[in-house]
Amino acid sequence: MSPADNFSVDPWQITEHGVDATSMARAESVFALSNGHIGLRANLDEGEPHGLPGTYLNGVFELRPLPYGEGGYGYPESSQSVINVTNGKIIRLLVDDEPFDLRYGELVGHTRWLDFREGLLHRECEWTSPAGRTIRVRSSRLVSLTQRAIAAVEYSVEAVDGPVRVVLQSELVANEQLPGGPEGDPRAAAVLEAPLQAEAHHASGTKAVLVHRTRFSGIRVAAGMDHVIEGPERLDTVAEAESDHCRISVTTVLEPGQRLRLVKFMSYGWSGTRSLPAVRDQVEAALTAARYTGWDGLVAEQADYLREFWETSDVEIEGDVELQQAVRFAVFHVLQAGARSEERAIPAKGLTGPGYDGHSFWDTEAFVLPVLTYCLPGAVNQALRWRHTTLPLARERAAQLGLSGAVFPWRTIRGEECSGYWPAGTAAFHIGADIASAVARYVRATGDHEFEREYGLELLVETARMWRSLGHHDSAGKFRIEGVTGPDEYSAVADNNVYTNLMAQTNLRAAAEAAVRHPREAGELGVDTEETAAWRDAAAAMYVPYDENLGVHPQADGFTHHQVWDFEGTPPEKYPLLLHYPYFDLYRKQVVKQADLVLAMQVRGDAFTDEQKARNFAYYERLTVRDSSLSACTQAVIAAEVGQLDLAYDYTAEAALMDLHDLGGNTRDGLHMASLAGACVALVAGFGGLRDHGEVLDFRPRLPAGLMKLSFSLMVRDQLLGVRITHGGTTYTLRRGEVIHLRHDGEAVQVKAGSPVTLPTTVPPAQEPCAQPPGREPARRQAQAGLAAGKLGQQDHLAAE
């Protein structure tokens, strides 16, 4: 887990020195900009060279077939894939007729940096053409967090050592050629290769617009651009348009020291229902507003938005500057994923790449929304309202499966099930409870009972109905839920998965309580006292398996009786296991892809004693291989709770550095939003000890030796609670509001405005280290933090020189 050589360590920004052709796609993901509606991968302004081009609009996808060697009832017939929409990032530069291309000539210097307080991607480079002309290029790019449809670029070129004739070609390009293509199904490749059908194109003066429609999903997409151009007195501008391409060309001659500056405003809009004129006019109106605001205005709006965000949402660490950088990187990208999603899904990769086909999973509700609930609750409201819009499809799916209520899809963009593998998809019913849990948490944290009445209640009711019809009372009166898949994807179609059963219990109770709070609305949904009593009965009788001989909870019925995977005989190159062994072999062995029973102990800690948590954690540590990026953050939380603080520190760093260090080897396809959010959870719920199962927040803070301080803030019912943890004590400060009640190490605490409360930070008793599968131990953070500190010191020394 050594730091990337071309990323420097800085607490507030990511900087790339030089250009590494072998890792361009990874850098394009790391520096991606988004607002939850528009996503721009960090491709170079000139378009080439590139790793993986990408411009995405949240909710814009194409349908593709799902082929089966042998079909079955209820199998989805098609899937949905995010598509690369019209690319407006491109600004090509020609220097005396030679294209500015980093692969030719001499690159004297090249630096890019993303500052989390500005929300802008900056670039500076100096290049000498093959003919010997030197130019200096500077650019800054943003995707607006305040004007949802807008992105913009400021691009300037300066002559350095002699007069040069320069041409800037600012472009909109649809159906651009992508490297490679979908593997395995040529029909899918053909569908996604050129998914946009031209409907309209226009260019005049400095403005251009393209309108397209997807072939099969029928989504209309419009993209527009407009420009402000400054330079020498003599400038020539030409506008061109064709069906898949618009270009505004600017030509001039620059003397040494002279600059040509171009500000490019881009706007995007889409709809599955509105007419071509309506979508086109929306884009042109957004362009007009952006041009009125101007580049400086957009930059100021972005900075103001982020200043307010960081004042209430920063996570501050003392003692590990690389982890500080990584967690702010994580918070920034989680913000970008959800800020303006506005009744659309938050995909597993955000809008940073095409990984997972752009699908949203349970990751959103289980990992991302818990973070956004306490820093950007409006985004959670919007994400859950999107789930509510998909209820008709979820009811249809439930009926198809012979169940009541609603069955939400395992993976989707619009709301239909897109998983062609039912043991990992359809059988993972726990997603219904994950959504219900997110609803209940949001309402508890915000007091937004209007949302609960209008949206949340129906989500709770329909998921509760699903559980009541999926499970059954056995002869002993226990409520059992059988034939399901829990979070661990190396086990499938099991009986009484502990995580699933406990989350279903929470779901059933929450639905019954919400129905009591909103009797009229519940009655309109057909809920009566008999139905709520049935939910309560099922919750009270929920079966949770326990292995008395081993003194641990089996992940599901019989799991602890399975043969243990041969970890000693599994070489490192055979991980991840799913790429080298059949699922048949994985499903019948004790091997865990990602935290499952351990996750249950995090989200339902009230269902386990402290002794059970310690025994369970030790048992599952030796079985968990972390072939999923979702695992380390959860293991960090429970490691901290059971007193394994150094191990918790290791796992926290793994979650936070998943993409910056490309630990999974697939950052090129986009960032891992759940792991990024999980890094925040690891710090706040792990070392902060936050549990939010009830009406009052509960903290049990503790710190590993490698960290000196951890500070964070939580927005709770329009109040802002600040938490500052050191080895000497934990201070709670009400930064906004009058009074808040919480628990510290189980004791009730009242915090009033102007009266911070400081209490001891618990030092848990020393624990025997837990063993992991051979070769799957996390990197030791103490050593890595030392390397990072040395690297930072070296950079500071060089800067001083």
Measured CA to CA in angstroms, residue 267 lies from 291, 344, 422 at distances of 11, 18, 39
Three-class SS state of 797: helix
Percentage, residues of the chain above pLDDT 70? 95
DSSP for residue 375: T
Residue 191 has pLDDT above 80, yes or no: no
pLDDT, average across residues 457-481: 98
Predicted confidence (pLDDT) per residue in 760-772, tens digit: 998 988 888 999 9
User: What does the pLDDT read at residue 72?
Assistant: 86
Count of domains observed in the chain: 1
Q: Place 783 in a pLDDT band, splitting at 50, 70 and 90.
A: low
Predicted confidence (pLDDT) per residue in 628-662, tens digit: 999 999 999 999 999 999 999 999 999 999 999 99
The dihedral sign for the CA sequence 10, 16, 20, 22 = positive
Residue 183 has pLDDT above 70, yes or no: no
Q: Place 69 in a pLDDT band, splitting at 50, 70 and 90.
A: confident
Domain for residue 61, yes or no?
A: yes
Tell me whether residue 362 is annotated as binding: yes
Residues 15 and 8 sit within 8 Å (Cβ to Cβ): yes
Residues 742 and 721 sit within 8 Å (Cβ to Cβ): yes
Between CA 677 and CA 368 the distance in angstroms is 5
pLDDT, average across residues 320-328: 97
φ and ψ of 618, to 5 deg:
-60, -40
Tell me whether residue 593 is annotated as binding: yes
Domain for residue 272, yes or no?
A: yes
Q: Place 343 in a pLDDT band, splitting at 50, 70 and 90.
A: confident
Between CA 554 and CA 616 the distance in angstroms is 9
pLDDT, average across residues 391-415: 97
Q: Place 200 in a pLDDT band, splitting at 50, 70 and 90.
A: very high
Three-class SS state of 122: strand
Residue 787 has pLDDT above 80, yes or no: no
Between CA 594 and CA 419 the distance in angstroms is 19
Q: Which residue has the higher pLDDT, 200 or 2?
A: 200
Residues 398 and 405 sit within 8 Å (Cβ to Cβ): yes
Between CA 704 and CA 726 the distance in angstroms is 10
Domain for residue 114, yes or no?
A: yes
How many Cβ atoms from other residues are within 10 Å of residue 255's Cβ? 10
> Which among 337, 324, 410, 367 is positioned nearest to 712, based on CA atoms?
324
Tokens of 645: 């603080």
Tell me whether residue 264 is annotated as binding: no
Q: Cα 590 to chain center, whole Å?
A: 30
Predicted confidence (pLDDT) per residue in 515-537, tens digit: 999 999 999 999 999 999 999 99
Between CA 319 and CA 323 the distance in angstroms is 9
Between CA 675 and CA 435 the distance in angstroms is 18
Residues 633 and 675 sit within 8 Å (Cβ to Cβ): yes
Residue 149 has pLDDT above 60, yes or no: yes
Q: Burial, 582: exposed, middle or buried (Cβ in 10 Å; 0-12, 13-18, 19+)?
A: exposed
Domain that holds residue 98: 31-67+76-307
Helix axes 457-470, 391-400, angle to 10 degrees: 10
Residues 677 and 329 sit within 8 Å (Cβ to Cβ): no
User: What does the pLDDT read at residue 75?
Assistant: 87
User: What does the pLDDT read at residue 765?
Assistant: 86
Average pLDDT, the chain: 94
Residues in the chain: 801
DSSP for residue 721: E
Domain for residue 155, yes or no?
A: yes
Tell me whether residue 594 is annotated as binding: yes
> Which among 135, 140, 172, 136 is positioned nearest to 154, based on CA atoms?
140
Catalytic residue of the set 62, 176, 489, 531:
489
User: What does the pLDDT read at residue 71?
Assistant: 81
Residue 790 has pLDDT above 90, yes or no: no
Q: Place 118 in a pLDDT band, splitting at 50, 70 and 90.
A: very high
φ and ψ of 494, to 5 deg:
-110, 165
- 3-state helix, strand, coil split of the chain in percent (to 5) is 35, 25, 40
Between CA 449 and CA 552 the distance in angstroms is 39
Percentage, residues of the chain above pLDDT 90? 90
How many Cβ atoms from other residues are within 10 Å of residue 746's Cβ? 8
Residue 180 has pLDDT above 90, yes or no: no
Active site (annotated) includes residue 48: no
User: What does the pLDDT read at residue 1?
Assistant: 36
pLDDT, average across residues 295-324: 98
pLDDT, average across residues 172-179: 91
Predicted confidence (pLDDT) per residue in 716-750, tens digit: 999 999 999 999 999 999 999 999 999 999 999 99
Measured CA to CA in angstroms, residue 420 lies from 69, 173, 387, 400, 434 at distances of 11, 33, 21, 16, 21
> Which among 307, 287, 352, 270 is positioned nearest to 145, based on CA atoms?
307
φ and ψ of 375, to 5 deg:
-130, -30
User: What does the pLDDT read at residue 66?
Assistant: 86
User: What does the pLDDT read at residue 342?
Assistant: 87
> Which among 159, 102, 164 is positioned nearest to 136, based on CA atoms?
159
- Name 15's bridge partners: 8, 113
User: What does the pLDDT read at residue 737?
Assistant: 97
Domain for residue 434, yes or no?
A: no
DSSP for residue 651: H
- CATH number of the domain bearing residue 294: 2.70.98.40
Between CA 624 and CA 632 the distance in angstroms is 10
Instruction: Name residue, tokens 């306490």.
Output: 374
Domain for residue 488, yes or no?
A: no
Residue 55 has pLDDT above 70, yes or no: yes
